Every structure is written in C-alpha cells, then in structure tokens.
Amino acid sequence: MNVKTIRWERDEDVLVLLDQTRLPGEVVYTKCRDIASVAEAIRRLRVRGAPAIGVAAAFGVVVGVQHSRAADFASFSREVDEAAELLAATRPTAVNLFWALDRMRRTVREHGSNTVEDIKRALLSEALAIQSEDEHTCRLIGEHGAALLRSGQTVLTHCNAGALATAGAGTALAVVYQAHNEGKRVHVYADETRPVLQGARLTSWELNRAGIGVTLICDSMAAQVMKEGRIDCVIVGADRVAANGDVANKIGTYGVAVLADAHDVPLYVAAPYSSIDLSIESGAGIPIEEREAAEVSQGPGGRTAPEEVEVYNPAFDVTPARYVSAIITERGVARPPYAESLAALSHHAWEPAVTG
Ligand code: MRU
C-alpha cells in the first residue's frame, strides 16, 4: 500500500497533507484549514510534484470558499476567482496546477443557476473527482509503462515522481511498482536531486518502504554509473510537456537525458495527460520557476557557501524532445514525432474513473 500524500477529512472539512519537508526523518501530517496554509504548503514544498500540486490546489479552492457568506452567484464566483488566483501564484512550472484550477472555475460556471451552498458541494465533488482520477491515472501509467520493463532491469530516476508526488502510486515510480507487482525484478538508482534532495529524502524513502531495491547516488555520479553499464533505462516525471514533446522537469533532468543519450540508454517520461500543454509549442515557452538562494547555499547541515556569494537556482529545466524515447501517459505511450503522437492522444477516448 502506497503512502497517502493528500486526504480530505470529511469530519472536519480540512485538507490533510503529508508534510514532505519533514521526510525522511518524521512522518507528520499537517491540516490546512484556510487557503493561506494551502498556498504556503505548495510554495514551501510540503506538498509537491505536479499531480499532487494540482490535487492540493483543487482542495485549496474548497478550503478557501467553504465558509463564504456570499449571498449571490456573482459574489461567490468572484471569491472563487480570487482563491484560484492566489493558488495560481504559488508555483509557475507544473501545468497541473492551472489545469486543476480551471476545472474548479468551470465547475462554478456550470452551476450558475444553483444556490451558493450547492456550488460549494459541487466544488468539493470536483476536487474529490480530480483526486480519484489521479489515482486511476497513476494505475494506468504504471500498466502502460511496466510493459517497457523486463525482469532484472535497473532504472535510474531523478527527483521524486512517486506516490509522494501524486494522489496515487506516482508516475515514473508507478511504472516500477507495477513491474514489481507483475513479479518482475526491478532495481532503482535514485539521483539525490540537489538542491532540495527529493531523490534522497523522498524517492529512496518511499521505494525502501515499498520493499523495492534502491541505490542512492549523488547527481554527479550518474555519468559514471551509466558508463559502468548499470542502467537499462531512465524514467522521470514531468511538470509540463510542450506540444513538440519538450519536457520540463526537476532541474538536472536535462543533464541526465544528455548522459542517457551518450550511453544509449532510453529515457522515458511518465506523466498524466494533464501535464501535456498543447497550447505551448515548444519548451522555450514553459515558465521556469526560480527559487530562493538559500536552497543552494545551505544544505541540511547548515550553510555550505559564503553568505555573500551570488546564487542562481532554477527549479526546473527543459529536456529537448530529441532525448525522450517515449512519453508514458494514462492514454497510452507516445513516441516521436511528438507533435503528432501527443496530438493524437488528445483524441483518445478516455473515461475517467467513476468517482464517489
Ligand atoms: O519541485 P518539485 O518537487 O515539485 O518537482 C517535482 C518534479 O520535478 C517531478 O518530477 C514532477 O513534478 C513529476 S511528479 C509525478
């Protein structure tokens, strides 16, 4: 059973998040009772990973307006827009955030003739639907991706695209979990993923907990590990995929992709269809979040660089589509040329899971 990253507590009407800044040392759940605490949790990476950010933001809208005293549709709808704008300003790169907020806004529009209390209920149902659809999506990504793995293979991954990054089993790691469930022997090398160590703190934690063999390496070791022939394929997640197949993911992914290409190792990107942004032609149009200097100049043990040193801290990079062997989605596996294969997936009939 995978770890539960996000939960809606019906008794108290609160959003409960596993605080990922405390892992691997402590498993602490934090309750978000107002929109400011949801926005803070997303910004501070208490909840992170593109699909999980989308799910948290959907519940964030619910938390933000559930005690609204708006008397009519126009003022309630304005409050929803304000809540969505506040959440949209938390992190710019993962498109799932904006996709989920759009769904919440659409829900309000579709219930224009209902009472405010009915719309509040509809918003909660929509957030729960986004959550349960994500669980289903992760399962399907796992199934499509596991077909690409053979028993005895070793996968390198970067950052955390596991259960901690979604409402379900993950994206890249769902592939590993599914292969494992099918009885295949799979081992994972996890890049530690500086600056904030999602690979070391989160990926190795959740794989270890699931009983999957994992070897932690520093990011700078990936080239040598590939040269030694230890890696059969790379599987990573995505924060946003452009229409041409360029992939924005955690900083360092691009470097891993170039290394994989140099060593003839296939690189697979596993992502829900909601991470694919056909409105953006190429990776050049994807906004890259820049985070604070302290993430680079300080490590968990304290300061690692002089206080006055200048720091540049882009949180994501863009891997050109030519380095991507396939993109694994819940709708199927897209292969190059992506301009055609990703567009074709948009017509793919896909039924979301029935939600309760
Ligand atoms: O800054 P983070 O931890 O939110 O970055 C996460 C990643 O880059 C993941 O690889 C991506 O969101 C996919 S998660 C299924």
**Model confidence over 49-63: pLDDT tens digits?**
999 999 999 999 999
Rounded to an integer, the average pLDDT of 122-144 is 98
Give residue 257's pLDDT band: very low, low, confident or very high (50, 70, 90).
very high
- pTM for the predicted model, two decimal places: 0.97
For residue 114, the CA-to-ligand 1 centroid distance in Å is 37
Give residue 300's pLDDT band: very low, low, confident or very high (50, 70, 90).
confident
pLDDT at 354: 46
pLDDT at 20: 98
Per-residue pLDDT tens digits for 73-127: 999 999 999 999 999 999 999 999 999 999 999 999 999 999 999 999 999 999 9
Regarding the beta carbon of 137 and ligand 1, being less than 6 Å apart is answered no
User: Is residue 356 predicted with pLDDT exceeding 50?
Assistant: no
pLDDT at 351: 56
Which ligand 1 atom is nearest residue 249's CA? 8
Rounded to an integer, the average pLDDT of 215-227 is 98
User: Is residue 353 predicted with pLDDT exceeding 80?
Assistant: no
Q: What number of other Cβ atoms are within 10 A of residue 341's Cβ?
A: 16
pLDDT at 19: 98
Which ligand 1 atom is nearest residue 171's CA? 15
User: Is residue 350 predicted with pLDDT exceeding 90?
Assistant: no
pLDDT at 264: 98
pLDDT at 347: 82
pLDDT at 161: 98
Which ligand 1 atom is nearest residue 162's CA? 15
Rounded to an integer, the average pLDDT of 252-281 is 98
Atom 6 (ligand 1) nearest CA: 49
Report percent pLDDT > 90 for the chain: 95
pLDDT at 355: 42
Q: In angstroms, rounded to a whole number, what is the distance separating the alpha carbons of residues 43 and 193?
A: 18
Regarding the beta carbon of 48 and ligand 1, being less than 6 Å apart is answered yes
